Chains A and B, each alone.
Chain A
């Protein structure tokens, strides 16, 4: 059996694959948003000096870093509806279960990224903000967070790409994302090479687009004026930001 380009191209432009790819990206987006929000509060908790904030955050990160994502998804989809009748309703879809499940797991990792980003902001920054009379919340929002985001961006991009791939785990809870789509096709036709190759192309395209998006966002956080950028180039940023 030779590689049949016609089957490959037919799948490449099929609506099944496109839908699958869209679902994979959507799960990744939603779980990343959820993970960032939860992760931010966990990071605040872990950097806090108060035990009643530190302990629950510590527990969360410890728990969800230990449990395999696959197990969390199975619990979300199979065990929770048994325990909570409300989750047996139609609105509790595989998409929702996958997004929340992966988001909960990812939050443990995002919290570590955000925590180290917050800690890496120079202490003098908070000091300067407080000296101006800013409240602790304003110091966080206007001074520390914008600088922490810049540091957290590259590892967050990594996590995002990871989530696109982790979304394939949702095949176990019957979400027809990209890999499930390929697998279903294979089960009918046995054209492994063609169907998997089409999936490869989709993953490559998705991750390439995300990488371009990431470098675009990172440039937004370059902190140079446009005139200086055209004159001196990006090396100004690399050598001088962070010194003061």
Chain B
């Protein structure tokens, strides 16, 4: 039985200033799956996430959302990038959480969560606020709703950022090293929110250095290196019996 993947990338290539960052990546995530992506810095894992979130154009290759190509189209053998307006509409389907939270500092927590609802979905202020409050409750921050980002801890900011992406009801959530910018004692609360999110059946791709999280929560673990996927396996297999020498080496460093 093969399920239709929610998000799929085919033969993805990306070059920055002559440096090949992605060299033919094949990747997919099925509905309800949680995929953890590991790999050394500069291996291209964050770049893949940005391309999937349509924040940067791929040089070549395809990104498919529920079987439909997004971000670009083929025209007479050339890859054409869609205009920004169409990209904006497609991005609503993909939730993105950034390493450095990127909350809007001029808006309170609840306003951060509301902005997508009011300015993208056109939902009325009152309704947007109640939806945003519900979402803040889910990440345990309803009592911080009127605080500005500067008044929140890093962990709280990242939880607001998760709520901000979730409230738009995306088909898949992308996490770009969501705990890497946090003080160690704040990592736990963010991972807890993500674990609960996974339990609700949300499809998630998590680029992370948290090996324990990958092992406990992910259905599948992927190792990225040199712009390609080196190994992809279930957590148990990946961590106890990796097939590739490169994976063994990587794991010996992170543990």
Contact = CB atoms under 8 A, between A and B. Distances in A.
Interface of A: 122, 124-125, 127-136, 138, 142-143, 146-147, 150, 221, 223-225, 227-228, 236-237, 240-244
Interface string B109-123: 000000110011000
Interface string B209-251: 0000000000000000000000000000000000000000000
B85 A244 contact: no
Contacts, number: 100
10 contacts: A128-B96, A131-B53, A132-B164, A134-B115, A138-B120, A224-B148, A224-B151, A225-B147, A236-B151, A240-B150
Given A131-B53, A133-B88, A224-B151, A138 B105 contact: no
Interface residues of B, number: 37
B105 A131 contact: no
Interface of B: 53, 55, 84-85, 87-92, 94-96, 98, 100-106, 108, 115-116, 119-120, 146-151, 157, 161, 164-165, 168
A138 B89 CA distance: 13
Contacts of A125: 102, 104
> Chain B contact residues: over half helix, strand or loop, or mixed?
mixed
Contacts of A147: 104-106
A148 B104 CA distance: 12
A229 to B, nearest CB: 9
B60 to A, nearest CB: 22
B55 A138 contact: no
Given A128-B98, A132-B164, A228 B151 contact: yes
Contacts of A138: 119-120
A121 to B, nearest CB: 10
